[in-house]
Amino acid sequence: MKGRFLWWMVLLFLLAAPLQAEEERRQGYYSIVAQETGRLLCRTGLVVQVGDEYLTADNLRYRVVKIEGDTVYAEFRGREDLSAFAGQEGARAGFFDWLMAFVGKNGKRPVAIYHTHDDESYVPTDGSPSIPGGGGVIRVGESLAARLRREKIPTVHSRAAHDPHDGLAYERSRRTAVDLLRHNPSALLDIHRDAAPRQEYAEEIGGTGVTKIQIVLGRTNPNLRANETFAKQIKAAIDRKYPVLIKVIFYGAGKYNQDLSPRALLLEFGAHTNARQSAERAAAIFGRAAGDLLATPSRAALRGQNTGAWRTILWIVGAVVVGAAIFLLLNAAGLTQAGRNLGRFFRQEFASALGERRRRRRRSRGRPRRRRA
């Protein structure tokens, strides 16, 4: 009885571990500063943990090493060169494009858009930071979807509600994301807004007010490397046209449902302190600048997908092995018995595999050899 209770506690811990990271602060925001220079890197309402990382607008990489109250200290890790990712949106994937054209999609798969926090709103225009079931962030998603359709890119936009706005919202929105995957989308975008001072996101492009965009990656999901490749391609493509638009790429401790797809991103358009229209304009610019890349994976993106798929497989196999070890341990009288159980398990598996190989050899020996003509 005690062992079974311990097993359930371990399972609950594993399932609930990302939830804290995926929540947002109820009040205030974090200020992330460079530990060496004191330079302010960014401000965000997302929960920040030691080990989180930032890639700034000028491609400087930082890792969080200490948190004191509302101040987060990040250590400089080096400058990254995104030139290798620039222009990849124009490189098609050969056979993949031919196959998509053959089935009538002209090489472009749909872009899927949804909102885990559908209540998120913009105070200056919506009057409240939260409107359950119909927040201003949905209008931002509509602006992005409309722009993509103008670019002749098929788009699926879900307005499904996932209230209340808590750590379990990502578990509820997971059902929506899975449903969207039935459309075989080329990209899965979760549209949000941040909680920070207005100046953090306020920007102008061509004399018109817009909001900056924060890209969020879940660093505890097995697709991280593929998602990161996709995010860097997006940033490189937009930087060439609108270098002020992407504010930062944030590597948070959650999953954000990005384990479902190697081309899944969480995008934050502005903060609750910005005007919704500014976020809508930013979404339209984002769709125009990155539309081709969103709709048609490049060769590098497909390589990232393959990498992400293998990482997913390895992650699942590892989880099964760890789970089996815990199960045997909890059902054994002690460590000695657990070792015997594990040994017996692997001997049986190897004996079974070896026996099957021997049977195949015997059958092959018993077959008459073909005579050459």
Of the two residues 319 and 46, the one the predictor is more confident about is 46
What Rg value do the Cα atoms of the chain yield, rounded?
24
Mean pLDDT to the nearest integer, 19-37: 80
Mean pLDDT to the nearest integer, 263-284: 98
C-alpha dihedral, 166 to 169 to 170 to 173, nearest 10° = -160
Domain-by-domain residue ranges, the chain?
Answer: 22-77, 78-311, 318-362
Indicate whether 138 pLDDT > 70.
Answer: yes
pLDDT band at 214 (very low <50, low <70, confident <90, very high): very high
Q: Cβ(199)–Cβ(255) under 8 Å?
A: no
Q: Residue 340 has what pLDDT?
A: 63
pLDDT band at 167 (very low <50, low <70, confident <90, very high): confident
Question: Percent of the chain having pLDDT more than 90?
Answer: 63
Distance CA 257, CA 190 (A): 9
Q: Residue 243 has what pLDDT?
A: 94
Task: Map the chain to HEC letters.
Answer: CHHHHHHHHHHHHHHHCCHHHHCECCCCCEEEEECCCCCEEEEECECCCCCCEEEECCCEEEEEEEEECCEEEEEEEEECCCHHHCCHHHCCCCHHHHHHHHCCCCCCCCEEEECCCCCECCHHHHCCCECCCCCHHHHHHHHHHHHHHHCCCCEEECCCCCCCCCCCHHHHHHHHHHHHHCCCCCEEEEEEEECCCHHHHEEEECCEEEECEEEEEECCCCCHHHHHHHHHHHHHHHHHHCCCCEEEEEEECCCCCHHHCCCEEEEEEEECCCCHHHHHHHHHHHHHHHHHHHHCCCHHHHHHHHHHHHHHHHHHHHHHHHHHHHHHHHCCCCHHHHHHHHHHHHHHHHHHHHHHHHHHHHHHHHCCCCCCC
Q: Residue 1 has what pLDDT?
A: 55
Q: Residue 21 has what pLDDT?
A: 54
Indicate whether 310 pLDDT > 60.
Answer: no
Q: Residue 336 has what pLDDT?
A: 57
Per the listing, tokens 């954000």 go with: 256
Indicate whether 277 pLDDT > 70.
Answer: yes
Task: Map 196-207 to HEC letters.
Answer: CCHHHHEEEECC
Q: Residue 84 has what pLDDT?
A: 86
Tell me which range, 26-35, 118-127, 298-307, is most confidently predicted by mean pLDDT: 118-127
Q: Residue 4 has what pLDDT?
A: 57
pLDDT band at 86 (very low <50, low <70, confident <90, very high): confident
The chain-wide mean pLDDT, for the chain, equals 81
Nearest to 251 by CA among 77, 14, 11, 70: 77
Nearest to 203 by CA among 142, 266, 279: 279
Mean pLDDT to the nearest integer, 178-185: 96
pLDDT band at 85 (very low <50, low <70, confident <90, very high): confident
Q: Cβ(125)–Cβ(201) under 8 Å?
A: no
Indicate whether 123 pLDDT > 60.
Answer: yes
Q: Residue 312 has what pLDDT?
A: 45
Of the two residues 24 and 131, the one the predictor is more confident about is 131
Taking only the tens place, the pLDDT of each residue in 216-261 is 999 999 999 999 999 999 999 999 999 999 999 999 999 999 999 9
Q: Residue 26 has what pLDDT?
A: 67
Mean pLDDT to the nearest integer, 95-105: 44
Indicate whether 97 pLDDT > 70.
Answer: no
Q: Does the domain spanning 78-311 belong to CATH 3.40.630.40?
A: yes
Among 76-90, 111-125, 249-263, 296-310, the least confident range: 296-310
Q: Residue 89 has what pLDDT?
A: 46
